[in-house]
Amino acid sequence: MEFDRKIKIAPSILSADFANFSQEIQCVEAEGADWIHVDVMDGHFVPNLTFGPPLCAAIRPHIKTVMDVHLMISPVDQYIDAFAEAGADILTAHLEAGPHVHRTLQAIRGAGCKAGLALNPGTGIEDLDYLLDMVDLICVMTVNPGFGGQKFIHSQVEKVRKLRAMIGDRPIHIEIDGGITPETAPLMTAAGADVLVAGSAVFKGGSVDNPAPYGENIRAIRAAAATA
Ligand code: DX5
Ligand code: ZN
């Protein structure tokens, strides 16, 4: 994975047809997705349950782009190797998931993945000083994690602006996740985000039998983001 700050759209398969992940992935990639975002939830760190390493391994061969795995789980460390073996390119853990985030990031890179760090909407960026050289991506949650289709939290625009300044020239992606639409995307790209996760706004109106709306939705977000 080469680093660049071009805008990337990462559809979240949380909004896909769960009975049909392989085709859903093929469709959104054919319609212009840059990365595939995989939301792992444990029913403990967040009040919802999704899937684990075997599902990630099963869908991996169908992903031609980048497998971006968002771990909304606590504890997290004991599962890192399993998700790495399942083929994650990027493994993102939450800053709030435990007391030893430095160790978690070391373990992710040690397992051969790019290391991501996610921040809940209520978490500030003050604690990142000593972590910046250990991360390849920072994910700013623009909703409280756990569910697709929630409303964008505007206070996170300022957080992204501050974070962008803090990152400077370091090769760190700023990803935003939650409530991203053609209306909210440009606020975030103007503030400095380069990876836009979108679930409901990508998958709405389409299906594997009618994937054209996926392309329209992705292009609408990309075009809006580019106006920033
Ligand atoms: C929320 C997940 C998101 C979610 C985004 O907990 O991390 O990735 O699927 O969904 P939308 O785009 O519908 O807000
Ligand atoms: Zn996510």
Q: Is 39 noted as a catalytic residue in this protein?
A: yes
DSSP code of residue 195: E
Q: How far is CA 162 from CA 53, 156, 158, in A?
A: 34, 10, 6
Per-domain boundaries in the chain: 8-226
Q: Which of 190, 158, 160, 156 shows the shortest CA–CA distance to 173? A: 160
CATH of domain 8-226: 3.20.20.70
The tokens of 145 are what? 């994690």
| Ligand 1 mutation target, pool 13, 36, 39, 140, most atoms within 8 A of CB | 39
Give the chain's length. 228
Catalytic-role residue among 39, 68, 89, 194 = 39
Evaluate if residue 228 carries a pLDDT over 90: no
Q: Bridge partners of 117?
A: 93, 138
Q: What would the pLDDT profile of 79-125 be if each residue is shown by its tens digit?
A: 999 999 999 999 999 999 999 999 999 999 999 999 999 999 999 99
DSSP code of residue 114: E
pLDDT of residue 199: 98
Q: What would the pLDDT profile of 5-16 be if each residue is shown by its tens digit?
A: 999 999 999 999
Is the pTM for the entire model greater than 0.95?
A: yes
